[in-house]
Structure 1
Amino acid sequence: MSAATTELANESFMSADDLRSYMTQMQMAKASSAVSSMEAADKARKDLIKTLSEPIKVTPEFLKQVMSSLTLRMKKTAETGQSELMVMRFPTALCTDGGRAINNNEAGWPDTLTGRPRQAYELWRDHLRAGGFRLKAMIIEWPGGLPGDVGFFLAWGESRQ
């Protein structure tokens, strides 16, 4: 061993084994952090599904508030030249078929909706459709190649059907 190598070994320098061990510990810490983040995200998703699966009481006051807020959002979107607005996003777990009918654009896709997504569809059907608004539903997220989230888009531009 040269004098320089001996000097390095005697100081608080890490050996190659120490450095490999340190790298392993850092990778394990990052993996643990990623698992914790994934667990937190999974819990948040489950909480969201629980919340959205419970219908809310739609009173005339609530309906007025929703329509006012929606009108404001649509006007802001229209000011930018756009004619479509995502009005709701929800996990496919709120569809009885996991989003299959929406993904395949089947005529009966609204029948697969549950909870608040069903209520949102009914709001469009009962209050907005007659005004010329269209509702489009599509899978907007594909985690692991599987349908993850659905987006509801309210459209008011030229119909491209």
Structure 2
Amino acid sequence: MVSTTTWVLDTNVLSEAARPAPHAGVMANLSRYEGELAIAAPVWHELRFGWLRMPAGQRRDAIGRFVQDVAGQLPVLAYDAQAARVHAELRTQREQLGQTLAFVDGQIAAIAIAQGATLVTRNTRDFAGLTGLRMVNWFELQ
């Protein structure tokens, strides 16, 4: 199990670091918590898929370097049996409320919960109300 001080970065948080003018609060926390950061396997997929489907050119090359050199150095947390159990519970919870949980969002949340970690995301509405999920939005920090 990963330490409870681990931060699981959602795609929108990690990709912020690749922007020409990234959010200062996000960058400060990425630096502050270096060594305590991880990504969920579905986030690793989203980053690589987004990069690989880009048309050839300088932007694709720059994103490729970011994906390999920065994101590629972070621990990748697996979607394992425990995460699958939690994911099923989260989906059932939402379904009973007449709501749908996006499958990948459910996987990411379940991995964070199973690892005892806090999810860092800009899309807090997508994850709101999920039992057992701790999350924070570093974009709201100065």
Q: How does the TM-score come out when normalised to structure 1?
A: 0.24
Kindly indicate whether structure 1 or structure 2 has the higher relative contact order, using CA contacts under 8 Å at least 6 residues apart.
2
